[in-house]
Structure 1
């Protein structure tokens, strides 16, 4: 099943690349006072994610399972390594139908907290700025606030 999702994602990316330019978002955020487990659980637990995003959230904890944040975001889990890595297909509802990006969160202990290394490939060029800033405003800043961190902004 995971292979099917990965293949579907590759097909989607290759089909899309002929239609519209895409970009990659690369950001790193350090969340002081949080463990990799804390961050993983905040993203993967529906109640914790709802609190973070302030939108109703459903999240499956299995590979191939779906997630949905409010009416705006949705996708599926491609790979899950507890407390270390989350890989998902990801799309916003205002993207062209059938367009999905690939979001990867990697978690590592760093200086009294957790370093989140985030990459999102296949983001439609026209939405790059909005999505890139959205990660800062709706994920990294609230995570820092939740765990008491006052670190530098995610890059």
Structure 2
């Protein structure tokens, strides 16, 4: 219960035009079904894969049954979505022979992890066997899983805008949505408004490395770190990403930010990187190296000039809020090295 004289915005009624359900505190629900239908079609239609045998592309979403909604209960966002979808794909071999097939995903829901999705790829009746079927079954399924992961991320970021309304002073208190990977800002970076300590004295620093393996290509994994909507998807929060040398980035409610220093497509990203709570103007240098391992990509993370007192938190942050979050959001799950 709000305390007397503290001006809790939940009870400021007379200062709002609607004078009801202040700040959407008690219970609000938003139907995301129509938005989801359009977003799923947008993400799926046009997906293509290609190799020496030819090219395949998803041409149409033929079935999209289900619903989606978001509830705001006392400032906490609760997500519900459940979809059964089918799509058509077409393939053209290098010799010009055309093939047709279908894709079915019967269990896209908030109860299933992205890596547990059943993605069924088939050839239409009377179509002869073709290597393109295996291409679509393997690479096509991977890209479909990535697109569906993006949908979930957009649902939890793009569609939630305005779910928690401004208070009487006009400030919107937008909470980070609940997600499978819990973003604990007390670990990833304090949200305190107190100024971080100054760098007036030399700071003891350390360096460390970690490796992880992802079931995707270097090209796709490289893109996850530089495409703003994909960063918002796996962090489940608003982000700013300028994908160029000298470009800035800010994510996790401003608790992590920095600047890109070197970008080598599909191979390497070098950045100045820091927690908001680190001493003023102190940055670590983080280098991401992407190595193609056939069906997998090895990511090596080298962190240098990390404050010694922050080593464990920084290491855990990269493992949990980058690596594990990316795997769960886009279905790139693999063994942890």
Q: TM-score range by the shorter chain?
A: 0.7 to 0.9
Aligned length: 137
* Alignment RMSD (CA, Å): 1.5
Secondary structure of the corresponding residue to residue 300 of structure 2? strand
Structure 1, residues 41-100: CA drift from partner, whole Å, max 9, x if none? 111001001101112111111111111112101111110011111000001001010100
What is residue 36 of structure 1 aligned with on the other side? Answer: 218
Contact 1:44/1:61 (<8 A) preserved: yes
CA distance in 2, matches of 1:46, 1:148: 18
Q: Which has the larger radius of gyration?
A: 2
Report the TM-score when normalising by structure 2: 0.39
Contact 2:233/2:329 (<8 A) preserved: no
The structure with the largest helix share of the pair is 1
Match of 1:49 among 223, 231, 240: 231
Greater relative contact order structure (CA < 8 Å, 6+ sep) = 1
CA distance in 2, matches of 1:112, 1:74: 32
Q: How far apart are 1:19 and its partner, in Å?
A: 1.3
What is residue 83 of structure 1 aligned with on the other side? Answer: 266
Match of 2:280 among 83, 97, 101: 97
What is residue 24 of structure 1 aligned with on the other side? Answer: 207
- Which range moved further: 90-99 or 61-70? 61-70
The structure-2 alpha-carbon separation of the partners of 1:111 and 1:145, relative to structure 1 and needing over 3 Å to count, comes to: farther
Contact 2:225/2:231 (<8 A) preserved: yes
Contact 1:44/1:60 (<8 A) preserved: yes
Secondary structure of the corresponding residue to residue 335 of structure 2? coil
CA distance in 1, matches of 2:333, 2:223: 21
